[in-house]
Amino acid sequence: MDLFVIAILAGFILLVWGADRFVLGAGAVARNFGVPPLLIGLTIVGFATSAPEILVSTIAAIQDNSGLAIGNAIGSNIANIGLVLGATALIRPMNIQSETLRREIPALLAITLLSVMLFLDKYLSRTDGIVLLLGLGLLLYWMAGLGFRSAAGDPMSAEYAAEIRSDMRTSTAMAWFVLGLAVLLTGAQLLVWGSIEIAEVLGVSDLIIGLTIVAVGTSLPELAVSVVAALKGEHDLAFGNIIGSNMFNLLAVIGVAVTIRPVEIPPSVLTLHIPVMVGLTLVIFAIAYNFGGRGRVYRAEGFLLLTSFVAYQAYVIRGAGD
């Protein structure tokens, strides 16, 4: 048991460090090739911050643990809103000013509803996976166009420009990129192995482990990025990090996992976990638009989000949600 816990903790540490180096390298390489900072942030950095979820779910699916992969994707989306946004707003209230971000949020809602439709027959097939991956391609194309059109005056562009290294040689950036990916793969393998073994010892499903331990662990890079960005006053970047990660989780994480290994959907996913994910996504939509005014996430809202996340996790861990 101790060995499995150590493997999970080591996996978390490697995922956080590896994701940081992976994002650093990918962003610097793109900037050295003249890609606008906003476009880098919306696509490359957004995809890179979801790399832990993608790799963990891919390895889980290859090892015939698709329940862990699905739980990781849904649980990470719940953690990104409840834990990451909640904790970030509790530390520093956030103002949302980016018009680009306001265009992304309806896209997140649409992607969430598309994913829910695919879940309704209680089976995710390879065809469903391909549909999600095609949606990922369309999303990247749309976000690339959005990044080019909005780069000039959007406040999020300046925030990304401040964070993406412009003084790093391409060879150094590539080295960090490759090292980060290698560390991510190692961390993902350790986390999946430890999580599966813990699930067997505790007698719980891999879905529950994915929704709890794995989801929280793979959301740690997003938590670190959002908290640091908010402390620097980069509120749009902090909020956008959550939105982008959630879109990539649904399209890339689930898409890759079920394309590798189709999976039966347990009833609790439709009766509890997906409604919680959709409900929190609607909360983000309401916060961002604020009935036509400027979006702001206050400490009270952050506290409520964090409390809701803790209550949900307690309910699932207790076994009532399985």
In 42-115, DSSP assigns E strands to: 94-96
| pLDDT number for residue 321 | 42
Closest Cα partner for 312 from 215, 242, 199? 215
Contact present, 215 and 316 (Cβ < 8 Å): no
- Compute φ and ψ for 65, nearest 5 degrees: -125, 55
Q: Which residue has the tokens 């347990």?
A: 266
Q: Which two tokens stand for residue 2?
A: 């101790």
Alpha-carbon distance of 161 to 227, in angstroms, equals: 18
Structure tokens, 49: 């911050």
| Helix/strand/coil percentages in the chain, nearest 5 | 85, 5, 15
DSSP 265: P
The pLDDT of residue 290: 67
Other C-beta atoms closer than 10 Å to the C-beta of 149 total 13
The strand pair at 94-96 and 295-297 is best described as antiparallel
Mean pLDDT is lowest, of 37-51, 160-174, 201-215, 271-285, for 37-51
103: which residues sit within 8 A by CB, 6+ positions away?
A: 146
Distance of alpha carbon 259 from alpha carbon 115, whole angstroms: 14
The whole-model pTM stands at 0.91
Q: What is the pLDDT of residues 206-226, one digit of tens each?
A: 889 889 989 998 888 888 888
Instruction: State the average pLDDT for the chain.
Output: 88
Q: Could you give the percent of the chain with pLDDT greater than 70?
A: 96
Give the CA-trace dihedral at 23, 27, 28, 30, to 10 degrees: 140
Give me the mean pLDDT over the 127-137 stretch. Answer: 96
pLDDT bin (cut points 50, 70, 90) of residue 152 is low
User: Three-state DSSP class for 238?
Assistant: helix
**Distance (Å, rounded) from C-alpha 264 to C-alpha 257?**
12
Residue 163: band (very low, low, confident or very high) from pLDDT cuts 50, 70, 90? confident
φ, ψ for residue 263 (rounded to 5)?
-145, 140
Residue 8 CB burial class (10 angstroms; 0-12, 13-18, ≥19)? buried
Is 187:13 a contact under the CB 8 Å cutoff?
A: yes
Residue of 200, 211, 260, 277 whose CA lies nearest to 70: 211
Domains and CATH numbers, the chain: 2-317 (1.20.1420.30)
H/E element, 261: none
Higher pLDDT, 315 or 159: 315
Which pLDDT score is estimated for 175? 95
If one counts every other C-beta atom within 10 angstroms of the C-beta of residue 152, the result is 9
pLDDT for 320: 45
pLDDT at 101 over 90: no
Mean predicted confidence (pLDDT) in 290-307: 80
Distance (Å) of CA 59 to CA 80, 222, 308: 21, 20, 30
Place 156 in a pLDDT band, splitting at 50, 70 and 90. Answer: confident
What is the pLDDT averaged over residues 163-167? Answer: 82
pLDDT at 20 over 60: yes
